[in-house]
Structure 1
Amino acid sequence: MIKVLHLSDIHLGSGFSHGRINPETGLNTRLEDFVKTLSFCIDRALKEPVDLVLFGGDAFPDATPLPVVQEAFAAQFRRLADANIPTVLLVGNHDQHSQGNGGASLCIYRTLAVPGFIVGDKLELHTITTQKGQIQVITLPWLTRSTLLTRPETEGLSLEQINYLLIEKLNPALEGEIRKLDPHLPTILLGHLMVDRATLGAERLLAVGKGFTVPLSILSRPEFEYVALGHVHKHQNLNKDNNPPIIYPGSIERVDFSEEKEEKGFVLVEIEKGKVNWEFCPLSVRPFCTLEVNVSEQTDPETAILNTLAKKDINDAVVRLIYHIRSEQLDLINTATLQEALSSAHSYTIRPELVSQLARPRLPELGVGTHLDPIEALKTYLNNRDDLKDIESDLLDAAQKLLNNDNTHEDELEDIENHSPKNQLTLL
């Protein structure tokens, strides 16, 4: 059987905001994370060894990556060329110029005629000779309206209508490549696209909506032993019957917090005509951790935040701390203390979010249509205000005297107010 490594969505050069500069190398630590993870994938390809590597697109965040990022990518894939392992580099949406013309960031490998490398920037059948025999790969890069349609064809149409036209054009174009297949050789469809039944990962934010959605039925063909996909960052198999397996391996690193809970990895495939086995291989990547706490009802909000931090392992993680707080509590938080508590994290952000008093949840007992004695209503309110516990009895006494028209109530109210640092009586 031919052994294949399928990976996708490297996005080398992403996530710099979640890293810091390594003083020893001068590089952003998140770039180093991405290179380390990519290196592990290549290590696995060499160790097996595999007979073919399929990259499902999106090498970089855009079509014009920094030279240091291009060099890091090339240094890893050069190892495959040195080992005589054929490799297909599919063009994804991030690999194209904004106009969608060609794979600007990947076509250099074709220009330089890197041995064994194929750049998939158009719908095309490739017959590849490996150490274990021949295999067919149909490349289906990220398609835009300009790829299959002319401007007059799309003028005045809605996005939904354009999507329908694109699928109408794609069907016969793909059928044309399928008819070229050698029925005796195993076949893989390698596509960078959004399938209509996929569960979205970070691409919801990065690029979804800029292309078009492909129905699963187009990919579920008996001519394919395996469908290797790229674009969606969450690993998933869209065809549980595995006839054929339609697999997104997902991205190899977390791009942002939308991928915080997603497992990252690649797929190893063993394939021959009429038979395929595949395995998802998890990668050990840097954890992302969101800590969100509401301290708006706490008398000591800083301690409450520190207690939340103490319960979570944040060592070497990318952390974002979000705490909900009232404006009058802000002076009770020492940012330097929070920074010290977060110092074991790889990087962190601290985001206070103000809670409006108007947004405080209303008590059902005090809602419209309820009938409570004024003192009982006040007691109900005070029972839900931890910050007024110290003066609760004084407030109740003062309220009772107000109701009794006690002539001394003004002096007593003034005395209570003088003992309240927050001037809480204004809330009554």
Structure 2
Amino acid sequence: MTKAIAILHLSDIHMGSGFSHGRINPKTGLNTRLEDFVNTLSQCIDRAINQPVDLVLFGGDAFPDATPPPYVQEAFACQFRRLADAKIPTVLLVGNHDQHSQGNGGASLSIYRTLAVPGFIVGDSIKTHRIATRNGEIQVITLPWLTRSTLLTRPETEGLSLAEVNDLLIKKLEPVLEAEIRQLDRTIPTVLLGHLMVDRANLGAERFLAVGKGFTIPISLLIRPEFDYVALGHVHKHQNLNPSNDPPIIYPGSIERVDFSEEKEEKGYVSIEIAKGKVTWEFCPLPARPFCTIEVDASEKDDPQAAILNAIAKKKIENAVVRLIYKIRSEQLDAIDNGAIQEALKSAHSYTIRPELVSQLARPRLPELGVGTSLDPIEALKTYLTSRDDLKDIMPDLLEAAQSLLDSDRDSWLETEEEKGTKTQLTLEIGE
């Protein structure tokens, strides 16, 4: 009977991120957030060695950019070197943050190929890798982060909108991927390892981290009977895009929280047992550093200081990265004791305090703009402007400008830049 192959699938380590949320550890001289990332990665490697697994798949984005400081590179390498010492084959896929902005290829990961680290494969091209493991052979198709320059030439993209370029990229990718699929050995398991944005994905923090030079792949390209498992990277929120599991299409998510947009997301990796035509998987949580947001509107409180301290006391802040956001009026400033607030936050791993002054101008209550109303945007704006005596003189101009924005074509919102002599369009990033 054929044995199942055990795989550990992790992604989006981003080692070296979030230093602003940490502090210098006086014993090591390192930022405590770097130590957090090393700790969670170490637990992944521990699991791989102790189980042991037959193969480790890394879905891309080792660092925040392609040229991390040497000590961050070393911290990453020390952990992955343990896999080489344990003779566990490992595939390191190139993600968008691993690519140098001035060229193709995974600048931050290519050293592992250059040094010929035993058992390590750097996936920087669309290619099928046949890998011998302790429990049999498996084939892994690597699909790294693709930019338009990977598959398209300048004349092909000139003058096209973002949507048209996306469609053209998909048409170019389909035959390339199909060529790999046709060469597969149908007697052994197959995994597609891709760093990409799938159209069904629920975005995590990657929307804040990535410059939009990639494109979205339809999930239909991934739901193929030839694939036993689809291992993804890029989106930081763990999810299975194909609940019927034929095949499972899995983002493990990032292993540590990189910022407050990931505050409520569970972090971890995926453990897989795979044989030809059969696969089981489970998400394995990691004890990532908690993030905690405390928001207080103390502007209407008689004792704003007490309101802020009470809000802090209600939260579990010990060893967490905390941000305190409180609203007060300018005349309440003298009632705030910053020393006492800092004392209340001292059990946190780190904290930031962000006071917000509420405008002195009385804001009119407009029931027309309340919850449950269905005014169109122009009517809503008109209702608001009518209530503002200080804006009545410029009301016609504001309404005209708003209508112009609503009528404009979506593509006019896309910025353009000159990149190597050709126009390219950038995706507008969604703010926090």
Range into which the TM-score falls when normalised by the shorter chain: 0.7 to 0.9
For 1:19-418, list aligned pairs within 5 A. Answer: 19-207=22-210, 209-358=212-361, 360=363, 362=365
Classify 1:64/1:124 alpha carbon distance in 2 versus 1 (closer, same or farther; 3 Å). Answer: same
Classify 1:338/1:219 alpha carbon distance in 2 versus 1 (closer, same or farther; 3 Å). Answer: same
2:5 corresponds to which of 2, 5, 21: 2
1: CA distance, partners of 2:284 / 2:298 = 41
Q: Which has the larger radius of gyration?
A: 1
2: CA distance, partners of 1:17 / 1:90 = 27
In structure 2, the residue matched to 1:425 is none
What value does the CA root-mean-square deviation take over the aligned residues?
1.0
Q: Read off the aligned partner of 1:125 and give its amino acid letter.
A: T
Deviation at 1:57, TM superposition (A): 0.1
1: CA distance, partners of 2:142 / 2:83 = 20
2: CA distance, partners of 1:266 / 1:52 = 14
Deviation at 1:208, TM superposition (A): 5.8
2: CA distance, partners of 1:211 / 1:135 = 29
Deviation at 1:360, TM superposition (A): 4.0
Deviation at 1:51, TM superposition (A): 0.1
Q: Is contact 1:100–1:146 with CA below 8 Å preserved after alignment?
A: no
Deviation at 1:329, TM superposition (A): 1.0
CA offset digits 1:198-229 (Å, max 9, x no partner) = 00000111116221000000011000000000
2: CA distance, partners of 1:237 / 1:194 = 13
Classify 1:10/1:361 alpha carbon distance in 2 versus 1 (closer, same or farther; 3 Å). Answer: farther
Deviation at 1:18, TM superposition (A): 0.1
2: CA distance, partners of 1:176 / 1:242 = 24
Q: Is contact 1:9–1:58 with CA below 8 Å preserved after alignment?
A: yes
Q: Read off the aligned partner of 1:75 and give its amino acid letter.
A: C
Deviation at 1:76, TM superposition (A): 0.2
CA offset digits 1:139-194 (Å, max 9, x no partner) = 00000000000111111111111101000000000001001100101000000000
Runs of 4+ residues over 2 Å off in structure 1: 357-364
Q: Is contact 1:100–1:144 with CA below 8 Å preserved after alignment?
A: no
2: CA distance, partners of 1:331 / 1:161 = 57
Classify 1:347/1:361 alpha carbon distance in 2 versus 1 (closer, same or farther; 3 Å). Answer: farther
CA offset digits 1:27-51 (Å, max 9, x no partner) = 0000000000000000000011000
Q: Read off the aligned partner of 2:214 and give its amino acid letter.
A: G
Q: Read off the aligned partner of 1:350 and give its amino acid letter.
A: I
Q: Read off the aligned partner of 1:166 and give its amino acid letter.
A: L
Q: Read off the aligned partner of 1:82 and give its amino acid letter.
A: D
Deviation at 1:232, TM superposition (A): 0.1
Deviation at 1:302, TM superposition (A): 0.6
Q: Read off the aligned partner of 1:209 and give its amino acid letter.
A: G
SS class of match (1:65): coil
2: CA distance, partners of 1:161 / 1:312 = 48
1: CA distance, partners of 2:96 / 2:212 = 11
CA offset digits 1:219-248 (Å, max 9, x no partner) = 110000000000000000000100000000
Deviation at 1:285, TM superposition (A): 1.1
